[in-house]
Each structure stands twice: as structure tokens, then as C-alpha cells.
Amino acid sequence: TRRSSDLGHWVTSQRQQYKQFQIKGSTSSVITPERIVKLEALGFVWDALEMAWMDRYQELVQYKHEHGDCLVPREYASNPALGLWVNKQRQEYQRYVENKPSHITPERIQQLNGIDFVWDAFEEAWMDRYQELVQYKNEHG
């Protein structure tokens, strides 16, 4: 509806004004500390992308709790968005280590490392099979 569209534009404007306020201070923004407090009291989300990232991260933490690892299949039927997100984190990390533009930050890398995120699933799978072969050879000669 028109009303929700207008509200959406207003919310976007508040986020833009907040960013400007953070960079340049209150003199260059129509948003004030009082307005910030009011919006935050409502649970206003200043960075929707960061919130979406954290939502997926929490889903990954839950996945690890249930499965014991962070190896979410790319086409994970129970949560397709999580499988795609995990794959995207690996892609962004690869770009980061190659010094290419990337959306992943050192803070996000640290968060993911903190839950034993596997950055190279193919290498992990190869090492698992190799260890199985070593064990087999040790047992059977």
C-alpha cells in the first residue's frame, strides 16, 4: 500500500541520517540523539544487512549444535537460505584472502572461526577421506 511504501522510505531515510550523524555529527543530520533514543527504544534496526547476517549466523550456530559441524550442504532442504549463505561466506572469504573486494570483515571471520567454520569444504572432505585411508591401512596393513 501507499502508506507502507511511505513508511519504508521514511525508515530508509532514518538509517541514512543515522549514518550521516555517526560520520559528521549532529550538525549535518536531521536526526538527533533524542530521536535515536526513541527509535532504539522501539528496537529499531540501524543496519538491516548486519541484522540479516547475524540471523544466518545464529542459524549456523544452531546447525552446529544439532549436527556437530558447520558443513551445511549448499542445497540444505531444511533451510535452503542457510546453505546458500554458508557458501557465500566461503566465496567472500576467498575474495578477502586474495585482496579482492569482499563483504566479509575480520570481525565476521573471527566470529565464524569461533565456531570452527570450515572455509574450504573440499579440503576438509579430502582430509577426512585421507584419515580414513590411514586408519584403514593401520588396521589392515
CA–CA separation, 132 vs 139, rounded Å? Answer: 11
**pLDDT-based confidence at residue 134 (cuts at 50, 70, 90):** confident
Q: How many residues does the chain have?
A: 141
| CA 48 to the chain's CA centroid | 12
Over 90: is that where the pLDDT of 76 sits?
Answer: yes
Smallest CA-to-CA distance from 118 within 66, 64, 50, 77 is with: 64
Q: Residue written as cell 500500500? A: 1
**What does the DSSP 8-state code read for residue 115?**
T
CA–CA separation, 18 vs 35, rounded Å? Answer: 10
pLDDT at 4: 78
